[in-house]
């Protein structure tokens, strides 16, 4: 994956679905690199979002990299559908994949990148067996299921530990954070090791979406030390 880090990935879960094209166009005006799609099934998480057709519609509105996060049971059954819908990356939860290595291989076999997400209470060590097989690790900084939640503070420590694990293993995955990322904490999130920042309400609830994306990106870059 060839992107300029850090990456801000607006999450369309927080968008106005009735004006999806217009909302994504505002993101395009800010030259977004990624667009984040949260898929919820009402079983693994206590909410239902949208499916492959919606992802396909979102993809038709942008040239951005489609980052598809499957918060669902039995994700193996749906990988092909979301790839066909335009996903550039499929992220599955460690908690839903009893044969995680095989699931990652399946995603790669479809020609897209593979991510693994872990919930706030899941040990980082659970991904060690696949640490050199994955393209991205997604740290949930809220308990998944609903947008607009507050950032869990111990995520900073988990980010630092995950970054150290990446160095220790010589792995090349990106580190993504999802949940409660906003103008107040995004700089610290990147300082602690995040490469990709998912932002939902912080983007789509703003009066000026392109300007908000610009401001979030600037603060994220400050955390990576790219702005004096």
Residues classed as catalytic = 38, 178
Q: What does each C-alpha distance from 113 to 17, 132, 174 come to in angstroms?
A: 26, 13, 11
Q: Give the list of residues 6+ apart from residue 208 with CB closer than 8 angstroms, or none.
A: none
Reference 131, options 88, 178, 173, 176; nearest CA is 173
What CA dihedral angle connects 49, 202, 221 and 38, to 10 degrees? Answer: 0
Per DSSP bridges, beta strands 113-118 and 136-140 are parallel
157, 211 contact by CB (below 8 A): no
Residue 208: DSSP 8-state: S
């Amino acid at each position: 994956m060839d992107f300029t880090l850090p990456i801000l990935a607006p999450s369309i879960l927080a968008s106005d679905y009735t004006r999806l094209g217009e909302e994504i166009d505002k993101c395009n005006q800010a030259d977004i690199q990624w667009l984040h799609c949260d898929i919820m099934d009402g079983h693994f998480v206590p909410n239902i979002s949208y499916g492959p057709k919606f992802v396909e519609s979102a993809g038709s509105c942008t040239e951005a990299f489609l980052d598809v996060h499957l918060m669902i049971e039995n994700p193996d059954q749906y990988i092909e559908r979301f790839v066909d819908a335009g996903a550039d990356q499929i992220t599955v939860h460690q908690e839903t994949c009893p044969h995680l290595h095989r699931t990652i291989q399946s995603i790669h076999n479809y020609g897209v990148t593979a991510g693994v997400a872990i919930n706030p209470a899941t040990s980082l060590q659970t991904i060690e067996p696949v640490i050199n097989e994955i393209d991205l690790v997604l740290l949930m900084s809220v308990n998944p299921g609903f947008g607009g939640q507050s950032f869990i503070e111990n995520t900073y420590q988990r980010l630092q530990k995950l970054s150290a694990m990446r160095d220790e293993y010589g792995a090349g995955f990106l580190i993504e954070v999802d949940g409660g990322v906003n103008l107040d904490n995004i700089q610290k999130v990147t300082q602690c090791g995040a490469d990709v920042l998912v932002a939902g309400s912080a983007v789509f609830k703003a009066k000026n979406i392109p300007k908000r994306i610009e401001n979030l990106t600037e603060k994220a870059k400050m955390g990576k030390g790219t702005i004096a």
